[in-house]
Amino acid sequence: MRIEEKIRANAELTIRMLGPISDVANFGYNSDSVKWVEGFIERQRVRSDLSKEEMQQLVSNLGSFLGECVIACFGGEWRQHGPTWGVAFDENNMAFPFSKVEKQFAGGMEESVDGWFRTIPIVFEKYIKRPQSPERKPWWKLWR
């Protein structure tokens, strides 16, 4: 299994595990779910019973999920950059969801994954390829 497939599998596992315990109606690759995950990270980071291995697994699963949210909402693709993986919008512009999750675990809400997620369309505006909306007809041509 390629790394990208493992990342997607981790993201799907995150949806299966966290969806039922969240209060998000359509838990998945969307901004409401990212906001909920931000709170989940905060609740986990204060636990004293998490081992270093469990914390790293959470970073891996939640980073996978966060990256898949970026791809679903804004485009891009998984790409390796040095030793780490991120979501690339082109050859020179990448977002690093694993690093962001790790930073929120370490620094709390000052490193908010939701805040980071919401800046993606602003920071990478020129590189996000949004689907073109179909041309709209004037109202008087709708019945022709």
38 vs 75: CA distance, rounded Å = 21
Q: What is the pLDDT of residues 16-52, one digit of tens each?
A: 999 999 999 999 999 999 999 999 999 999 999 999 9
Residue 143 above 60 pLDDT?
A: no
For 75-127, how does the pLDDT look when each residue is reduced to its tens digit (9 = 90+)?
A: 999 999 999 999 999 999 999 999 999 999 999 999 999 999 999 999 999 88
- Residue of 93, 100, 133 lying closest to 117 (CA atoms): 100
Reported pTM: 0.88
pLDDT value, residue 63: 98
- Give the pLDDT score at 127: 86
